[in-house]
């Protein structure tokens, strides 16, 4: 799960009333990857545990677990599986380790809550899907924003009349973010692709949410990727990216995101059509639908980052009047998995639903994909550990408004787009 998220509007007692457990045996839950973001999962499991919904039987991490747990701790996940025999395993480890750990857990008879991104290639996706089918187990993927009421209302407003989709987010990550682990900011570790670029890790929710919107609009599968990727420090992956994805019907999706942003843009999915514009701010569950007062995105005639005059021109290209209203309600994905086990209800985010995301991920991480363009000091403002691209927020919004990439907008530092046909999965 990326920074900035939290389970909303859920309490252990509420979940107890809705789980409808069909068995008297309390599910045994284990967590593999208990540090870092794993602490968020620890807190959520603790809430369910306090409500008598689950029992926590063990934690695993290759590093000493902090804070120290009150259950058995392991450094090897296989030892945890053998010693504790869990029913459900939450996997919150580096993405390139997900598949082998998931396969071990399935062999041990466990259902899975697998953090995003689930796997790093369509081949791994098929391997895991085959294992799920052969073992009869279930896998929920941790794209938790797909469990919100706001998303369901946004999705229901989509139709084949949709003419364009966009996703925009502007976050800021400093030097310490890329020192958080040996794989941070890397493309490969131990011969396996590492998934840490802005599009596929911290802002993967924006990509997944937008792809799901395309499917909900009846656009079919994504077929073409055109992407420009940039970095403001000497890392191996992008911190700023513009990607245009074209679906089978020709519907365009423009994703514009950065980790070197100015003012914070939490994450917005926008759908345009003849009846107006729908906007979902997915991290906060805020929504505006056509007719609710949200104005369509403005268009810029000129002005691009690269000079003080151009930045001045872009200064007025800001977020449209929001008209966004919070829509309460988000289903916790672990609770949803438990309900699925007890009652057979459909999972909110089964592995199958992430196939398109994994196809895009692989295209971005293949060896032949060019390295992100390293921006120079004339384009990047440096202040201590922070690096910002002046004018980037206005460029994100212009690219989204016009469904065009920076190179098509004449941005001086723009690179040539990388184009790839996406596989049929």
Whether residue 375 has pLDDT greater than 80: yes
Whether residue 32 has pLDDT greater than 80: yes
Name the residue with tokens 């990607």.
243
Pick from 41-50, 63-72, 199-208, 360-369: least confident: 360-369
Whether residue 4 has pLDDT greater than 80: no
pLDDT tens by residue, 9-24: 333 333 333 343 445 5
For helices 77-84 and 98-107, give the axis angle rounded to 10 degrees.
20
Q: Binning pLDDT at 50, 70 and 90, where does residue 291 land?
A: confident
**Alpha carbons 236 and 363: distance in angstroms, whole number:** 16
From the number of C-beta atoms within 10 Å of its C-beta (0-12, 13-18, 19+), residue 23 rates as exposed
The stretch 21-29 carries a mean pLDDT of: 75
Token representation of residue 63: 């590093």
pLDDT tens by residue, 177-216: 999 888 889 887 777 777 789 999 999 999 999 999 999 9
pLDDT tens by residue, 94-153: 998 999 999 999 999 999 999 999 999 999 999 999 999 999 999 999 999 999 999 999
Residues 181, 97: contact at Cβ < 8 Å?
Answer: no
Cα-Cα-Cα-Cα dihedral sign, residues 8, 12, 15, 19:
positive
Token representation of residue 328: 């309460």
The stretch 264-281 carries a mean pLDDT of: 97
CA distances from 366 to 120, 187, 191, 281, 360 (A): 10, 9, 12, 30, 10
**Of the candidates 94, 387, 367, which has an alpha carbon nearest to the alpha carbon of residue 240?**
387
Whether residue 5 has pLDDT greater than 70: no
Give the whole-number percent of the chain exceeding pLDDT 70.
Answer: 87
**Alpha carbons 271 and 155: distance in angstroms, whole number:** 10
β partners of residue 59: 31, 73
pLDDT tens by residue, 302-352: 334 443 433 444 444 444 556 899 999 999 999 999 999 999 999 999 999
**Alpha carbons 165 and 163: distance in angstroms, whole number:** 7
Name every residue whose Cβ is closer than 8 Å to that of residue 165 and which is 6 or more positions away in sequence. 210, 213, 214, 217, 251, 252, 253, 254, 269, 270, 271, 272
**Better-scored residue on pLDDT, 374 or 366:** 374
pTM of the model: 0.87
CA distances from 142 to 218, 265, 393 (A): 24, 22, 28
**Alpha carbons 44 and 46: distance in angstroms, whole number:** 5
Residues 138, 337: contact at Cβ < 8 Å?
Answer: yes
Give the whole-number percent of the chain exceeding pLDDT 90.
Answer: 80
Name every residue whose Cβ is closer than 8 Å to that of residue 29 and which is 6 or more positions away in sequence. 45, 48, 54, 55, 56, 57, 86, 87, 88, 89, 90, 334
**Of the candidates 289, 296, 288, which has an alpha carbon nearest to the alpha carbon of residue 325?**
288
Q: What is the mean pLDDT of the chain?
A: 89
């Amino acid at each position: 799960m990326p920074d900035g998220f939290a389970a909303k509007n859920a309490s252990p007692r509420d979940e107890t009333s809705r789980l409808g457990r069909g068995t008297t045996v309390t599910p045994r839950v284990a967590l593999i990857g208990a540090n870092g973001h794993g602490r968020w999962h620890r807190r959520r499991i603790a809430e369910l545990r306090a409500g008598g919904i689950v029992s926590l039987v063990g934690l695993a991490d290759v590093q000493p677990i902090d804070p120290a747990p009150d259950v058995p701790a392991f450094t090897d996940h296989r030892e945890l599986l053998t010693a504790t025999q869990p029913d459900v395993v939450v996997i919150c480890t580096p993405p390139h380790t997900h598949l082998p750990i998931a396969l071990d857990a399935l062999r041990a008879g466990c259902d899975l809550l697998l953090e995003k991104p689930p796997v790093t290639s369509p081949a791994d996706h098929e391997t895991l899907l085959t294992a799920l089918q052969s073992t009869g187990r279930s896998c929920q993927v941790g794209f938790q924003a797909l469990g919100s009421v706001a998303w369901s209302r946004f999705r229901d407003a989509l139709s084949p009349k949709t003419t364009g989709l966009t996703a925009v987010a502007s976050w800021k990550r400093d030097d310490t973010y890329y020192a958080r682990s040996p794989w941070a900011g890397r493309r490969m570790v131990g011969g396996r692709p590492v998934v840490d670029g802005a599009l596929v890790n911290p802002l993967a929710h924006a990509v997944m949410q937008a792809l799901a919107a395309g499917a909900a609009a009846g656009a079919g599968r994504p077929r073409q990727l055109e992407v420009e990727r940039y970095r403001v420090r000497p890392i191996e992956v992008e911190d700023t990216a513009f990607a245009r994805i074209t679906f089978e019907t020709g519907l365009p999706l423009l994703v514009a995101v950065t980790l070197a942003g100015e003012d914070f843009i939490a994450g917005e999915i926008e759908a345009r059509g003849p009846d107006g514009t729908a906007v979902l701010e997915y991290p906060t569950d805020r929504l505006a639908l056509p007719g609710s007062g949200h104005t369509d995105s403005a268009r810029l005639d000129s002005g691009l980052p690269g000079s003080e005059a151009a930045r001045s021109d872009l200064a007025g290209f800001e977020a449209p009047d929001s008209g966004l209203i919070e829509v309460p309600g988000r289903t916790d994905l672990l609770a949803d998995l438990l309900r699925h086990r007890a009652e057979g209800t459909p999972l909110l985010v089964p592995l199958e639903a992430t196939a398109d995301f994994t196809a895009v991920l692989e295209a971005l991480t293949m060896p032949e994909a060019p390295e992100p363009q390293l921006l120079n000091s004339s384009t990047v403002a440096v202040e201590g550990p922070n690096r910002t691209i002046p004018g980037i927020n206005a460029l994100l919004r212009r690219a989204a408004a016009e469904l065009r990439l920076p190179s098509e907008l004449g941005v001086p530092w723009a690179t040539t787009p990388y184009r790839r046909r996406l596989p049929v999965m």
